[in-house]
Structures are given as structure tokens and as C-alpha cells.
Amino acid sequence: MMTTTTVSVRLPKELKTKMMKYKSIIDWNEELRQFISSRIRQLEKEEVLQKVKKKLESISPAPAGTAARLVREDRDRH
């Protein structure tokens, strides 16, 4: 069972009025949950990417010609 908590958001009155106009076709609670969830996934991906980039910066580049040598060795085996 998932536990939940409440989050309050302060909106301009005009925006709230517009939201109410569409409440019969939009479940605003679900809409906001999905947006927040999506945004968090995006931020987590960016965080992982930054960690990978940082790790890659600490690795020395392969000597020139390594890729060509490895491809040649692989082709010669077959």
C-alpha cells in the first residue's frame, strides 16, 4: 500500500477559475501527479548523465589508432 501526503499550491485566482471551467474533462489532481512524476524522472536522468560525464572526464583517452587496431584485430579473427 502506498502512503500519500498532501501538497498545497497557491495559484492566481484567475487560473483557478479557468481550471474549474475544465474540471469535468481534466482530473487536475492526476494531471499534477503525472507532471511532477515526469519532471522528477527527467531530473533524475539529468543527474545520472552528469555523474557519467564526470566519470568520463576522469578516464584517460585511448591512444591514437586504438579503434582502428581493434577493428582490424576483430576482422582478422573471422
Question: What region, left, alpha or beta, does residue 40 occupy, with left being phi > 0 and alpha being psi -120 to 50 degrees?
Answer: alpha
User: Mind listing the pLDDT tens digit for each residue in 47-74?
Assistant: 999 999 999 999 998 889 999 999 999 9
pLDDT above 80 (res 78): no
Question: What is the distance between the alpha carbons of residues 1 and 23, in angstroms, rounded to a whole number?
Answer: 28
> Please, are residues 51 and 60 in contact by the beta-carbon 8 Å criterion?
no
Q: Which of 3, 11, 42 is nearest to 28 (CA)?
A: 11
pTM above 0.95, yes or no: no
Extents of the domains making up the chain: 16-59
